[in-house]
Chains A and B, each alone.
Chain A
């Protein structure tokens, strides 16, 4: 546990020190929130949610900021590889599993903080605190999204040599996961083939879980969301640990 803590601590220190990264990664979610939210608010009516569109996408945008930050945190080990720091960790008498877990928890924590910041900012544009339990449920789902996608980021990074493939990851992994998740549209009104695709996207369950926590309603029951996302997270951590174990510097 000491080792996991040491690696977690390093991640947090680096995160808190890079103000530009914190502010920079708030940009995209805030744009989505403001442009989509206010741009479509008057023309879109979500049936059966008792919410206007801004209220509807806030959980989705929170999930988005957690998703982006966590995948980036995972992929960051490529930098460690390139700048040589990973060697220092790998030559120490510690297991790869401990390193991987520390990295995952560190990434998930920073992603969680990033999500909290978006959530706090959205309180100013319409979200309201309804009940405390709901918030805790939302937090739990944010943490799960963070863990799941940091682990995915590590899995991807273990297979990459340098940052050249980054555009590929951005366009073919991160955006599809976000776009297909029902973060910005209700999955119930989709054609059935597309709905099937959204149900294969792990983030859908995260968004639904956060939405249940914040709004009190969701298309998928929070218990289903929780158990599906929880299982996928576990699989991702195992996959990440497996691939990271084989990574060479």
Chain B
């Protein structure tokens, strides 16, 4: 039995399709990433899977339980860290944990023991009696993760776990998440719009854009699918350059993007000189040139035709509109 099974899941808000007919399976023990720009439908997907939001059509099961007909069992099986903070700032770290333990009906002795263990795991045992309002962003996140684990969930949902954290704290959190997955064998589903996060953490990832899953594989495979090397050229005249390059047999594909041209090819080191010579001959200026192995950034560009930052800019207005509609 897989940890999570999603079939043709769809969610509409007043005619706007936030999640559009997506399907995927997450095996036990995996770290599964939903990568996409803001407003792509990641949080909506997580909200449906965690029973916080009713689905419009399709079906899904979590830990073998249907998310529509068996909400309580689903809720018992999962731990969740929401994108926005959900701690009570007027309570101490210990009290927040204790409240959670009581909500999940964990008997007192076990509760006390587990709270101590988990606070230790996330390095907050010294601060357990301090009010949460005195905590930094990273500490709050760690506390939320510890809290999400208190009732020993089979599956942990992390919605943008490192959003707004500094790089060092982010690195620490990644280590925690990896450790949890390895030592406790917890299945983890996380959403992110950080490429690096998805690359470092996930065994399998789905790229989601405008509510649809447009690529689904391991980060390694996704990069392999592009294959070879990537040369990125910055030039004021990418159109002309692209035309010339397309005639060359060893160029697999090119993609224009503002004044950047991304070229996909084998053995870039050998051919870079040819490209420079070609543009020299045709009087095309080259402002900069770089060679690298395909990254997830390139994968994203390849499947959506845009960088993730541009996607965010274009969905922002859309999101604002949607948020206003929710408010009503």
A: which residues have CB within 8 A of B? 2-3, 5-6, 9-10, 13-14, 17-18, 83-85, 87-94, 161, 249
Whether A14 and B90, one on each chain, are in contact in the complex, defined by CB atoms closer than 8 angstroms, is yes
Query: Nearest-CB distance from B63 to chain A (Å)?
Result: 13
Whether B86 and A88, one on each chain, are in contact in the complex, defined by CB atoms closer than 8 angstroms, is yes
Query: Nearest-CB distance from A11 to chain B (Å)?
Result: 11
Other-chain contact of A10, B72, B73, B82, B99 (Cβ < 8 Å): B99
Whether A85 and B51, one on each chain, are in contact in the complex, defined by CB atoms closer than 8 angstroms, is no
22 A–B contacts from the bound complex (CB under 8 Å): A2-B102, A3-B102, A3-B103, A5-B102, A9-B99, A9-B102, A10-B88, A10-B91, A10-B95, A13-B95, A83-B85, A83-B89, A85-B86, A87-B82, A87-B84, A89-B103, A90-B52, A91-B50, A92-B75, A93-B73, A93-B76, A94-B103
Let me know if B146 is at the binding interface, CB within 8 A: no
The number of chain B residues touching the other chain, given as a range, is 20 to 34
B: which residues have CB within 8 A of A? 50-52, 71-73, 75-76, 80, 82, 84-91, 95, 99-100, 102-105, 147, 327
Residues from chain A with a CB closer than 8 A to the CB of B100 are: 88, 92
Residues from chain A with a CB closer than 8 A to the CB of B95 are: 10, 13
Whether A91 and B90, one on each chain, are in contact in the complex, defined by CB atoms closer than 8 angstroms, is no
Residues from chain A with a CB closer than 8 A to the CB of B52 are: 87, 90-91, 249
Other-chain contact of A18, B84, B86, B90 (Cβ < 8 Å): B90
Whether A85 and B88, one on each chain, are in contact in the complex, defined by CB atoms closer than 8 angstroms, is yes
Whether B102 and A91, one on each chain, are in contact in the complex, defined by CB atoms closer than 8 angstroms, is no
**Distance between Cα atoms of A13 and B90 in the complex (Å):** 9
**The 8 nearest A-B residue pairs measured at CB:** A6-B102, A84-B86, A93-B75, A92-B103, A88-B86, A93-B72, A84-B84, A87-B86
Query: Nearest-CB distance from A96 to chain B (Å)?
Result: 12
Apart from A13-B91, A88-B147, A91-B52, what are 13 other A-B pairs with CB-CB below 8 Å? A2-B105, A13-B95, A14-B90, A18-B90, A83-B88, A83-B89, A84-B82, A85-B88, A88-B100, A92-B75, A93-B72, A93-B104, A249-B52
